[in-house]
Chains A and B, each alone.
Chain A
């Protein structure tokens, strides 16, 4: 975010404490109310997991943070989403810039039908960066961060579609890292992957939180308990419980949460 001189001391202290803030957020698709008034704060450099049964609104809620719902037909939103203290739905917000700051990794690996190099360099190239040495260096460092460099360093000009599913997903993460976002949203990033690839990605997420704020939607309860610091349980468009992951999985306050994590429904 820009270091605006006008920022007050109070605002910047909020920033340190909370990276993302949702204030009474409501979402409608046409007449259907998908999110029924959720407020929550997400801390920087932590992994926050969103869990809940299908259709509970967790993915919709995640996609509010980079405004990916904007293109959905009939989408309407109420309330406020703040990143570093500023409202991302304000009129003067540049959505493209927002998305460079808030990267996203999707459920199904979705590399572009281009070479491995072009995939990672894409975000930089659309910003108009052309310096070859810089691009090469950034591609290498991004691929190293996701532990893919050694596997692909001799094949950078090969099509990304030739990689395995797990490699593609790590490539997609590298593509996101290349533009140096501060937040990474992950929408069930391992649900289409085998256990070994899943383990690699989980390890990666764990390492990435030093530099990034990570919010991850997952259907896999073990995954949430393994990799997240905080967990939020969603049900029917509402935030039922949000606490330290440890607490949610060992001693939840609400009965609904307990029923869900013990597998009694969902």
Chain B
């Protein structure tokens, strides 16, 4: 009886693992097949070099660059904002703050990641953009700066929390060595702790980048839906994710070339996040070896 129970549990666990793998493989397959279909009609060179993305217009252009630039621009703004803020928070919590404060503030910070992204999107559009417009005249109501900044707020906990974990995991003996040598708290933090935790910190930043690149709602609401090859943060742009939303929600016919564009865009996005995840996995593995 007991053996059967064990067997059922074992098979059940195996099944749930297999389902996850099957779903992943399925997604990659669908993406690849549809993308291959798309590239049988549009040359991959055009896709990578054409500076215009107008699949829904009569004069169709299929250059991914404008969407890519929109994605990279908003993500860059988010990262440029979140890395210094998130890192400062993590260093403060791990090396300066009293333990009790750390225990209270960390879960609160992690709440930032739990706010629904649609709320962030409206926050960007209704609060941050008007605020920024009062400094930057001529800024469009849809722009990458506001969306990027708010996305930055959203990913702060990814950086602060994971970096804090990495700093906290540095053996206390190193902290003692640093203080024993006469380091100030600042020297201890930046000359010993941050270098010692660097792989964990880099992983946290990569995860945050990958989260920013994949983020959809905020950019769809606040950054606009105009594919544009630009690095001007005050004008509307469109990210890959926002484009996919636009087409999915619109009345584009299934199996049309226009419809297939979302798979081409999707696989581009997938390649990016896949690469980032692979890099962070490699770094994490190296990190584990170091302290074992």
Contact = CB atoms under 8 A, between A and B. Distances in A.
Contacts of A175: 181
B191 interface: yes
Contact of A106 (B173, B182, B187): B173
B180 A99 contact: yes
Contact of B196 (A68, A113, A122, A123): A113
A103 B191 contact: no
B183 A126 contact: yes
Interface centre among B174, B179, B192, by most A CB within 10 Å? B179
B171 interface: yes
B232 interface: no
Interface string A174-212: 011001000000000000000000000000000000000
A32 interface: no
Contact of B180 (A97, A106, A125): A106
Interface string A68-98: 1001010000000000000000000000111
Contact of A112 (B179, B182, B192): B192
A98 B184 CA distance: 12
A110 interface: yes
A97 B192 CA distance: 18
Interface residues of A, number: 28
A181 to B, nearest CB: 9
Given A110-B171, A112-B192, A126-B191, A103 B180 contact: yes
Given A68-B179, A122-B191, A112 B184 contact: no
A126 B177 contact: no
Contact of A68 (B171, B176, B183): B176
A97 B182 CA distance: 6
A66 interface: yes
Interface residues of B, number: 19
Contacts of A97: 182
A66 B177 CA distance: 12
Interface in A108-154: 108, 110-114, 122-123, 125-127
Contacts of A103: 180-181
A58 to B, nearest CB: 17
Interface of A: 66, 68, 71, 73, 96-100, 103-104, 106, 108, 110-114, 122-123, 125-127, 161, 172, 175-176, 179
Given A68-B180, A106-B176, A112-B196, 14 more contacts: A66-B180, A68-B179, A96-B183, A96-B184, A97-B182, A99-B182, A103-B180, A112-B178, A113-B196, A123-B181, A126-B191, A127-B182, A175-B181, A176-B181
Interface of B: 99, 171, 173-174, 176-184, 187, 191-192, 195-196, 290
7 contacts: A99-B181, A104-B180, A110-B174, A112-B178, A113-B196, A114-B195, A126-B187
